[in-house]
Structure 1
Amino acid sequence: MTTAYQAPAATEPAAAPSPSGLLAGYRPGPEQAFLAGPHSTLLARGALRHVTDPAEAPEALREARRALGGTPLLVGAIPFAPGRPARLFVPAEVHRGGPAAEDPAFLLPARRGTAATGPAWAQRPVPEGPLYAEAVAEAVRRMRAGTGPSKVVLARTLELTAPGGADLPAMLARLIHRDPGGHTFAVPAGGSATLVGASPELLVSRRGRTVVSNPLAGSAARSTDLAEDIRRAAALLDSPKDLAEHAFVTDAIRRVLEPYCEELTVPQQPTLVRTAAMWHLSTTITATLRDPSVSALELALALHPTPAICGTPTDRARELISELEPFDRGLYTGAVGWGDADGDGEWVVTLRCAEAEGDRLRLFAGAGVVEASDPAAELAETTAKFGTFLHAVGLGDAT
Structure 2
Amino acid sequence: MESVTSQPNTATSGTPSAFEVATYRKVGWRLIPLLLICYVVSYLDRVNVGFAKLQMVSDLKFSETVYGLGAGIFFFGYFLFEVPSNIILHKVGARVWIARIMITWGIVSGATMFVSTPETFYVMRFLLGLAEAGFFPGIILYLTYWYPSARRGRMTAWFMTAVALSGFVGGPLSGWILKDVSGLYGLAGWQWLFLLEALPSLVIGVVVFFYLDDRIQSAKWLTDEEKALLVRNIDTDAVGKHDLPLSRVFGNGRLWVMSLIYFSFVIGLYGVSFWLPTIIKSTGVKDPLTIGLLTAIPFGFAVIAMLVIGWRSDLKRERRWHVAIPALISAAGLFLSTVWSHNTQLAMIALTFATMGIMAVLPLFWSLPTAILGGAAAAAGIAMINSLGNLAGFFGPYLVGFLKDATHSTNSGIYVLAAFMVLGALLVLSMPARLVDK
Structure 1 length normalisation: TM-score? 0.24
Q: Which has the higher contact order (CA 8 A, sep 6+)?
A: 2
Structure richer in strand, relative to its length: 1
Structure 2 length normalisation: TM-score? 0.22
